Structure formats: C-alpha cells, structure tokens
Amino acid sequence: MRQIVLDTETTGLEPSEGHRVIEIGCLELENRRLTGRRLHQYLQPDREIDAGAMQVHGITNEFLADKPRFADVVGEFVEFVRGAELIIHNAPFDVGFLNHELRLLGEVAPVASVEEVCGVLDSLLLARRMHPGSRNSLDALCKRYEVDASGRTLHGALLDAELLADVYLAMTGGQVALTLDREGDGATGAAGPVQARRSGAPLPVIEPTEEEQAAHEVLLQTLDEAAGAPCAWRAGA
C-alpha cells in the first residue's frame, strides 16, 4: 500500500480570504516503510503573509520572493500523490487549501481536486477516536508516542510530515514491515523468532487489554471507511 504523509504551510487560515499555500512537504510510505522519496517545495504566493502565520512557521515574504508558483509545480505534485492515500493531520485544512490552489488555475489545472487522484486519511480524526478527551495536536501525539520533536521550534511542512509519519506508524501499531532479516544462513543475525520456532521453544502470547482492543477496533473502522469496504483483517487475511 502506497501512502503519502503530507503537510502544508500557508499565508493565513482561510483560503476564502485569499490566503495561499507557501510550502508543501510530502514523504512516501510503501507498505508502512519510508521509501526515502519526498517532495518539498516553497511557493511564491503573490500576496503578503499574515503576521500571525509568520510567527507560526517563520517563513517571510522576502524568502519566498524568488520561489516558483503553485502553477509551476502542480504537475509534479499531482503525479507524486496520484494513486496514494494521503495521511494529513487535520486534513480538511490542507486539502481545502490545495483544492483552492487547483481552482485558481482554472482550465489549466491537471485535476479538479486532490480527492480526484488519491484517498485521504485524517490522522487527527483517527487520534480523536483512539484518545477521546485527550489533546491530539501533533505536539501532544509526539509526547504520547515518544517521538522526538525537540527540533520543532517552528512549524515546517517537511519537518511536520516527518514527525507525523513517526506518529502515524506508532499510533497504528508501530510495525513498519512484515519481513524478517534473513542475512546469513539463519544461524545468526535478526531471525530470532524463526530460530525459536525451529528449536521448539514456546513463544510468549501477550493478550491485549480492553483499552488496546477498543483502540484496535477504532483503527479497523477507520480503515473500513477509508477503503469503502471491510479491511483485510475483518476478511480473515
């Protein structure tokens, strides 16, 4: 499964007030493993950045003066996310801004909306279902899942995407690959579970708590909704 962890920074809070995207950060996951592929771009918005927004991300009008416009990178962006599931914290905000940028392009836009080429999973909605009544900002989730966010003195699209990728993987189980390291002849290295089975040694079985079972059910419901059908676990795969 191909997923793209995405974040944006903007000139302000409302596209309806003429605010624009000024930074896009994307990281690719393939079968829950970071592939190293990324897309990162600063953008010239052709308008001033609100002072409040500048305090959040630290991006200045002067810094963006020589950067490309969204129209210059939209083709690369659409092809990067095409066919993937986007993982976004507070997805309506970022998707709303990206769709606004596409609308501003009019007939030359390669697609009418982000949803036309990829699915969207809102990690904030997932976190709220898993941790009702708790703070579920990205900073709060980094603390909950022990993701190091000490370098996040200001918001940044690529940095926040990197943190969100770690949080999402931890929040949805932590396992990043269903593979075993088979280096060598199997007698040494990282094939401990295989060795235990071959030697006949019993493997420990740890039963989930009621809270863990409830969190798992919330995750399955979210996957069902994203896929539009029962996920593989419910099908007995």
Residues with catalytic roles: 155
| Helical residues (DSSP H) of 23-86, grouped into ranges | 51-57, 61-64, 70-81
153: burial class by Cβ within 10 Å (0-12, 13-18, 19+)? Answer: exposed
The 8-class DSSP code of residue 43 comes to: -
The 8-class DSSP code of residue 17 comes to: G
Rounded-to-integer distance, Cα 151 and Cα 94, Å: 23
Instruction: Return the SS3 of 66.
Output: coil
Task: Report which residue type is found at 233.
Answer: W
Nearest to 45 by CA among 22, 14, 63: 22
Instruction: Return the SS3 of 40.
Output: strand
Q: Quick check: 23 and 105 in contact, CB under 8 A?
A: no
Task: Calculate the CA dihedral of residues 157, 119, 129, 179 and round it to 10 degrees.
Answer: -80
Rounded-to-integer distance, Cα 157 and Cα 164, Å: 10
